[in-house]
């Protein structure tokens, strides 16, 4: 018979019990009610890519699952010039998870690099990021830059984005 809590033996067997030395620490003469074990479901996110190189890209597109196709094409072109593919990254649309914290993202994705496309893509509890200045955040090189809406028609923003991406 396998009993996970030695206190339960008192209810099952009323004779003398002899415990092994390794079990003596977990047994007490005081009978306490058993506490239910509460299991929380593991956090899971829907994202594009396979996160092979632990490169997290956080975007904000409220009406879409991931990104606008035109913007995704521009992003794909940019990361290819840096030696990455979509499979190397995880593109996470924060608009679908408004309450997600940075801790959840770091725990789930375990990123080595993180690109935040637009201030609106920044999770609520991340502070102190400077725009277009790569910073170290939880052992992850992090860059907050323009969203693609801010870059598509602005050459200066595109140049600033590309210069910082080369450093990420």
Tally Cβ neighbours within 10 Å of residue 144.
23
59, 149 in Cβ contact below 8 A?
no
Kindly indicate the confidence band of residue 105, based on its pLDDT and cuts at 50, 70 and 90.
very high
pLDDT at site 13: 64
The model's pLDDT over 11-56, given as tens digits with 9 standing for 90+, comes to: 666 666 566 777 666 665 555 566 677 766 666 889 999 999 999 9
pLDDT at site 27: 61
Q: How many whole angstroms separate alpha carbon 105 and alpha carbon 111?
A: 8
Instruction: State yes or no: pLDDT of 5 exceeds 80.
Output: no
Name the 3-class secondary structure at 160.
Answer: helix
Q: How many whole angstroms separate alpha carbon 45 and alpha carbon 33?
A: 37
pLDDT at site 33: 62
Q: How many whole angstroms separate alpha carbon 84 and alpha carbon 62?
A: 26
pLDDT at site 38: 72
pLDDT at site 99: 85
pTM of the model: 0.73
Instruction: State yes or no: pLDDT of 58 exceeds 60.
Output: yes
Percentage with pLDDT > 70 across the chain: 77
Percentage with pLDDT > 90 across the chain: 57
Q: Which domains does the chain have, with CATH numbers?
A: 48-167 (3.40.470.10)
Please give the average per-residue pLDDT across 129-151, as a whole number. 92
Average pLDDT, the chain: 85
């Amino acid at each position: 018979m396998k009993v996970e809590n030695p206190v339960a033996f008192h209810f099952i067997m009323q004779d003398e019990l002899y415990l092994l030395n390794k079990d003596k620490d977990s047994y007490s003469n005081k009978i306490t009610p058993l506490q239910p074990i509460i299991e929380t479901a593991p956090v899971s996110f829907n994202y594009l890519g396979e996160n092979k190189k632990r490169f997290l890209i956080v975007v904000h597109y409220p009406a879409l699952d991931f990104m606008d196709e035109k913007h995704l094409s521009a992003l794909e072109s940019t990361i290819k010039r840096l030696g990455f593919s979509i499979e190397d990254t995880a593109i996470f649309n924060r608009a679908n998870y408004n309450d997600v914290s940075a801790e959840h993202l770091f725990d789930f994705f375990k990123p080595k690099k993180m690109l935040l496309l637009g201030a609106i893509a920044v999770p609520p509890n991340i502070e102190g990021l400077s725009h277009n200045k790569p910073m170290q955040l939880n052992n992850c090189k992090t860059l907050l830059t323009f969203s693609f809406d801010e870059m598509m028609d602005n050459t200066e923003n595109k140049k600033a984005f590309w210069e910082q991406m080369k450093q990420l």
